Structure 1
Amino acid sequence: MKSLSKINRRTFLKGTAATAAASISAPAIVRAADRELRILTWEGYAGPEWLDKFKSDTGATVNIVYAGSADEMFAKMQGSQAADFDLVSFDTSLFPRYVDAKLIQPMDQSKIPNIKNIAPEFADVKAVMRGQDRYGLPFAWGSLPLVYDTAAFPAAPESWEVMWDEQYAQQMLWMDDANNSITLAALIVGAANPYQLTDEDFAKIKEKLIAQKKLSLSYYAGFDDGVNLFAQNGIKLMFSMGEPQVPTLVKKGIQAALTIPKEKAVGWLDCWELSAGAKDVDLAYAWMNACMDSAVGKILTEKNGYGNTTNVDVNKTAGMTYGDKLSWLETAENYEKRVAVWNEIKAS
């Protein structure tokens, strides 16, 4: 296992990524200039290496909307009852919410031949299934780690409690995300189950996060927002949105690194899902099939820093081997209550 303190020295090989892109298999669909694919996703999930090739192979127009948070993504899907998008991507904890709201539909796996490339550990994830019906295609994984400035911390902080240290007041950032913030706080306060919280747990978490708010410079939404605030304001610590923020900070001249503290960190597994309002279902399947090519997995990890589900060797080379230190997201006991509590914390 590569030391987490050295992950910031990871090299993302642009040349390798470009070479890999050339081998991505073309979707087996008929070209049609008037076809349109509408995607709601996260930054980095529609890379030009496979997006441009997909558009060239299909002749289709691809319109992409990037979400800044899980709450924003759900609101966009719910606002149009899924009619505005053909595909969406979210993590395993949110499937019941989307399925119960009838915002996504089961997949026909026979239309995704590259599904055979998914590594065994991601092939049978129970969270994406309802009986025999598959609702999600695992695509990318990672963590929400503690990012820190190595100039201020020569050794990686061992505990999340460092974000309650008053000597770093106004030099910290916290992600504006209800579910992930409350899950992390649950890990920190020692809740028995961070996904099945009691009223007593919620009270402790609310008190803990209100105390942290007083010390943070700002909440942020979106990878770029967090990176820019970190780089421009002398930030020392950040509850981050994931591994890719570290190399982006390094490019800006920040001596950034990440670590998974002793309390663990939130781990996520994002999937592609077929919107209940999909207009061109075959085009959506073609996109998912293209994304399951192992060459895309290689680019996803080497260029963007996400763990991938189709190229295990690349994960190992990139040091993405700390899954045992992550608390993989599960369905929350009451998502609406978490949003309400988080809004109370922000308004405090």
Structure 2
Amino acid sequence: MTASRKSTSGLTRRQALAFGAAALATPFVIRGARAAGDFRILTWEGYAEPEWVKPFEEKHGVKTSVVYAGSVDEMFAKMQGSQGADFDVVAFDTSSFARYIDASLIRPLDLSKVPNAANLLPAFHAVAPLMRGKDQYGVPFAWGSLPLVYDKAAFPTAPDSWSVMWDPANAQKIIALDDANNSIVLAAILLGFKDPFHLTDEQFDKVKEKLIEQKKLLLTYYAGFDDGVAIFAQSGIKAMFSMGEPQVPGLKAKGVDAAFVIPKEGAIGWLDCWTVSAGTKDVDLAHAWVDACLDRKVGAYLSDKKSYGNTTDGDANTRNGFTYADKLVWLQTPENFEKRIAVWNEVKAAP
């Protein structure tokens, strides 16, 4: 995270992913009725910038209108309200694809109309949540992680395992997200379960036991980006299960020599993808937008200016430290979200 719009945009996206937080007000939001000739985009802040919007408009002779969503649920509600007819393209993360496809809100892509898909880096060639049978419904665009953040004073050598979050030696010096799904996924990853998004009853029991074990060692759970940074800085915390990479700059701004690491077990990753709305007014133009977003120059901008991992420019990822996409477990729709909330509540209620 750096100064100005870059930090604001980055935090908004990551907070929206993890917690469905309200979006920050932005002068770029366009609301209300749109002209018949407009190309209509529903997305997150930072994903429809002038650097590629203007060339797209000039090339295709259209005017774009952009609506920025403030949460995962808000985005789905906007699409569902018109069965996709209010938008031509929409960007969301892998955990949402099942419900969009099931609700018939997006259409399969014709990749012959997206030649820049050839720019996709190897880690993004086969992303299971984007597929339904032989049909592909999205193309990867931007990504990040929920890594292990640690104080370098406490760990001169970076910890290599999530087990530090369960180590009695760190009791009362660790904090974790108050987040049902992400906490359960993380415990499942540490336990070595092959599919942390589709757990059996036996696996749920082991995850619950593991999380209760951790709860006894935590100083507290935290519920937001700023909350986590403040508790970490004020309480001499050694490590935390973080909301994302930008919490490190937030801690450094408070005088903590913090860093993050992707442990050997892997970490949760979010991956936002462009899709074509089922209600698009121009299928070819919608595919042209997806193609424009996969230009390597756009990928470089995402990493250099917005602090997101990108999916098309490996050099930009390398110079910005985004070299660990292959170590991430991309979010998927869980088997039973209500059950996960119930299990999480049991964990938090445990002595």
Task: Tell me whether the two structures share a fold, i.e. TM-score over 0.5.
Answer: yes
Output the CA distance in 1 between the equivalents of 2:40 and 2:77: 20
Residue matched to 1:133: 135
Would you say the 8 A contact 1:55–1:62 is kept in 2? no
The one of 244, 248, 263 aligned to 1:246: 248
Residue matched to 1:318: 320
Aligned-pair CA distance for 1:98: 2.6
Residue matched to 2:258: 256
Letter in 2 for 1:37: R
Unaligned stretches of 5+ residues in structure 1:
1-7, 15-31
The one of 64, 70, 73 aligned to 1:60: 64
2:38 aligned with 1:35:
yes
Question: Which fold has the larger relative contact order, with Cα–Cα distance below 8 Å and residues 6 or more apart in sequence?
Answer: 1
Residue matched to 2:184: 182
Output the CA distance in 1 between the equivalents of 2:36 and 2:73: 34
Q: With structure 2 as the length reference, what TM-score do the two structures score?
A: 0.71
The one of 143, 146, 153 aligned to 2:145: 143
Deviation sequence 1:57-104 (CA, Å, 0-9, x none): 85433221132xx67765775677656765443343543333123232
Q: Secondary structure at the match of 1:257?
A: strand
Unaligned stretches of 5+ residues in structure 2:
7-34
Output the CA distance in 2 between the equivalents of 1:164 and 1:103: 42
Aligned-pair CA distance for 1:110: 4.9
Letter in 2 for 1:160: W
Query: Aligned-pair RMSD on alpha carbons?
Result: 4.0
Please list, as runs of the form range in 1=range in 2, the aligned pairs for 1:159-308 lying within 5 A after superposition.
159-165=161-167, 171-191=173-193, 193-213=195-215, 215-221=218-224, 226-227=228-229, 230-231=232-233, 234-278=236-280, 284-308=286-310
Identity level (%): 61
Would you say the 8 A contact 1:40–1:85 is kept in 2? no
Deviation sequence 1:95-141 (CA, Å, 0-9, x none): 33331232322234455443343235424444423344321011123
Would you say the 8 A contact 2:151–2:259 is kept in 1? yes
Please list, as runs of the form range in 1=range in 2, the aligned pairs for 1:323-338 lying within 5 A after superposition.
323-329=325-331, 332-338=334-340
Output the CA distance in 1 between the equivalents of 2:166 and 2:96: 29
Q: Secondary structure at the match of 1:182?
A: helix
Aligned-pair CA distance for 1:192: 5.1
- Provide closer, same or farther for how the CA distance between residues 165 and 74 of structure 1 changes in structure 2, counting only shifts above 3 A: farther
Letter in 1 for 2:221: S
Letter in 1 for 2:130: V
- Provide closer, same or farther for how the CA distance between residues 196 and 290 of structure 1 changes in structure 2, counting only shifts above 3 A: same
Aligned-pair CA distance for 1:184: 1.0
Output the CA distance in 1 between the equivalents of 2:178 and 2:73: 9
Output the CA distance in 2 between the equivalents of 1:344 and 1:79: 35
Letter in 1 for 2:203: D
Aligned-pair CA distance for 1:146: 0.3
Would you say the 8 A contact 1:172–1:218 is kept in 2? no
Aligned-pair CA distance for 1:339: 4.2
Q: With structure 1 as the length reference, what TM-score do the two structures score?
A: 0.71
Residue matched to 2:27: none
Deviation sequence 1:271-292 (CA, Å, 0-9, x none): 1223445567666545433321
Aligned-pair CA distance for 1:53: 6.7
Q: Secondary structure at the match of 1:218?
A: strand
- Provide closer, same or farther for how the CA distance between residues 257 and 85 of structure 1 changes in structure 2, counting only shifts above 3 A: farther
Would you say the 8 A contact 2:143–2:270 is kept in 1? yes
- Provide closer, same or farther for how the CA distance between residues 54 and 211 of structure 1 changes in structure 2, counting only shifts above 3 A: farther
- Provide closer, same or farther for how the CA distance between residues 346 and 127 of structure 1 changes in structure 2, counting only shifts above 3 A: same
Residue matched to 2:124: 122
Residue matched to 1:152: 154
Aligned-pair CA distance for 1:51: 5.7
Q: Secondary structure at the match of 2:69?
A: strand
Q: Secondary structure at the match of 2:142?
A: strand
Output the CA distance in 2 between the equivalents of 1:79 and 1:172: 42
- Provide closer, same or farther for how the CA distance between residues 131 and 231 of structure 1 changes in structure 2, counting only shifts above 3 A: same
Stretch of structure 1 that moved more, 140-149 or 165-174: 165-174
